[in-house]
Amino acid sequence: MNGKAELIIDNQRLELPTTIGSEGEVGIDISTLRDKTGAITLDPGYGNTGSCESAITFIDGEKGILQYRGYDIAELAAKSTFIETSYLLIYGELPTAAQLAEFSALLTDYQMLHEGLRFHFEGFPPTAHPMAILSAMINAASSYYPNMVSGKTRVERFPHHAARLISQVRTIAAFSYRKARGLPVIYPKTSLKYTANFLHMMFSLPNEDWTQNEDIVRALDLIFLLHADHEQNCSTSTVRMVASSRANLYASCSAGVCALWGPLHGGANQAVLEMLEEIHQEGDDGTRFLNDVKNKVGNRRLMGFGHRVYKNFDPRAVIIKEQCDKVLSQLHKSDPLLDIAKKLEEIALHDDYFISRKLYPNVDFYSGIIMRAIGIPMDMFTVMFAIGRMPGWIANFKEVLEDPHSRISRPRQIYTGPTLRSYTPLDTRG
């Protein structure tokens, strides 16, 4: 690529510059297209559209590569922790020992919710989905920290708000679980590290502490780390879009939670378990279900398979599959749903329908099974994803915040509705 692209439109030749990323990806800069030709690009689902330049995460979907700030996901999964990786994503470099200690201290300082905020939980009915509670509570938190909204302090206080959000998303998540089950809330413990503290708030009782199991803590920490960022996916793009309007960090991340909720995005891990349960209840071993999927009966999909970007394998799925086997054997759990999952995987990986469409297991296929084994209820699965994704959203928010050329995101459209017509009075309408 010579740094230029040419477009011919109605015999008019337009030269467009290209931008080459640090991993060699090419972007054709069409920012002058509409001005010069009156035309726009049309790319529903944005499969060919780069919405920004970003230095946070690199994905090569064809080769199954995922890197955070240049570090391979497998190396981070083997050597790092969720909190260290969160720092890396937000600030660009692995922390020194002093920086990590400072970051951890901020997380501890901010782990308690404002007592006023705690009362908001009372307003939710027991049927409330924890994702509804999570997004509402994150947004509500912004009203307790009004200095986040104004220009200069917004930048200066960013490290505090970032740490508060990473710390409190886990407290809010655990409180929402306790509330939905009519259990008393359990406050965080300063002595516990991030993920262990979360499990303590979920599963301790007022009269009995949850017993820490290192393998379980590590498995959940790994799930958080593997979900920590994934470049311009639906929720991250949403966070950036909201941030582009200069909305505050809490409002932007709350919108990210809403975008994550859907079953084609973060809701997929819950959808995987629902699918496995349904197959089990129908007395099927997965074979009948897969035939329905292939014949598109009721538009059924094999949840946990396929990805918009990964077209050969999802590198996170490879790591999490190994952890999944470890946790299940450690807990001596045999699970009929796991047997169905293994059967579905085995058939689908050798079936032409899935091979020809490049559909492979994604991270959600296995993470749901691990979370079920740990005892996390199904309606909390997407919340786990949100806890993990928080540093990625915050890192992307920071890029927008610090970009001197940032403009409000405002796509165009091709209008397909009626052309100009006259108003018909009510009594003459047919």
Ligand X SMILES: CC(C)(COP(=O)(O)OP(=O)(O)OC[C@H]1O[C@@H](n2cnc3c(N)ncnc32)[C@H](O)[C@@H]1OP(=O)(O)O)[C@@H](O)C(=O)NCCC(=O)NCCS
Catalytic residues: 307, 364
Instruction: Tell whether residue 307 is a contact of ligand X (CB under 6 A).
Output: yes
What DSSP assignment string belongs to 280-338? Answer: HHTT--SHHHHHHHHTTGGG---TTB--SS-SS--HHHHHHHHHHHHHHHHTT---HHH
As beta bridge partners, residue 305 has 361
Q: How far is the CB of 223 from ligand X (least distance, A)?
A: 13
Q: Strands 12-20, 71-72: parallel, antiparallel or unpaired by DSSP? A: unpaired
Instruction: Tell whether residue 293 is a contact of ligand X (CB under 6 A).
Output: yes
Query: Nearer Cβ to ligand X, position 292 or 335?
Result: 292
Q: How far is the CB of 278 from ligand X (least distance, A)?
A: 15
Instruction: Tell whether residue 288 is a contact of ligand X (CB under 6 A).
Output: no
C-alpha R_g of the chain: 23
Query: Nearer Cβ to ligand X, position 241 or 359?
Result: 359
Query: What is the distance in angstroms between the CA of the first residue and the CA of the last residue of the chain?
Result: 59
Q: Read off the amino acid at residue 429.
A: R
Instruction: Tell whether residue 345 is a contact of ligand X (CB under 6 A).
Output: no
Cβ atoms within 10 Å, residue 316: 26
b/e for 406-415, b at 16 or more Cβ within 10 A?
eeebeeeeee
CA distance 21 to 357: 28
Pick from 302, 376, 390, 395 the residue near ligand X by CB under 6 A: 302
Instruction: Tell whether residue 42 is a contact of ligand X (CB under 6 A).
Output: no
CA quadruple 287, 293, 296, 297: dihedral positive or negative? positive
Pick from 118, 157, 218, 301 the residue near ligand X by CB under 6 A: 301
CA distance 310 to 65: 9
Instruction: Tell whether residue 344 is a contact of ligand X (CB under 6 A).
Output: no
Q: Which two tokens stand for residue 217?
A: 């803590």
Q: How far is the CB of 302 from ligand X (least distance, A)?
A: 4
Q: How far is the CB of 229 from ligand X (least distance, A)?
A: 13
Collapsing DSSP to helix, strand or coil, 361 comes out as strand
Q: How far is the CB of 309 from ligand X (least distance, A)?
A: 8
Q: How far is the CB of 319 from ligand X (least distance, A)?
A: 14
Q: How far is the CB of 65 from ligand X (least distance, A)?
A: 16
Instruction: Tell whether residue 289 is a contact of ligand X (CB under 6 A).
Output: no
Minimal CB distance to ligand X: which residue?
306
Nearest to 216 by CA among 371, 14, 403, 54: 371
CA distance 3 to 32: 16
Instruction: Tell whether residue 357 is a contact of ligand X (CB under 6 A).
Output: yes
Size of the site for ligand X (CB under 6 A): 15
DSSP code, position 143: G
The interface mask with ligand X, positions 225-264, x = CB under 6 A, is: ---------------------------------------x
- Contacting range for ligand X; rule: CB under 6 A; set: 31-39, 103-111, 275-283, 298-306: 298-306
- Contacting range for ligand X; rule: CB under 6 A; set: 107-115, 306-314, 378-386, 406-414: 306-314
Nearest to 64 by CA among 344, 285, 315: 315
Pick from 88, 268, 276, 383 the residue near ligand X by CB under 6 A: 268
Query: Nearer Cβ to ligand X, position 186 or 390?
Result: 390
Nearest to 169 by CA among 96, 274, 250: 250
Residues interacting with ligand X, by CB under 6 A? 264, 268, 293, 301-308, 357, 359, 362, 364
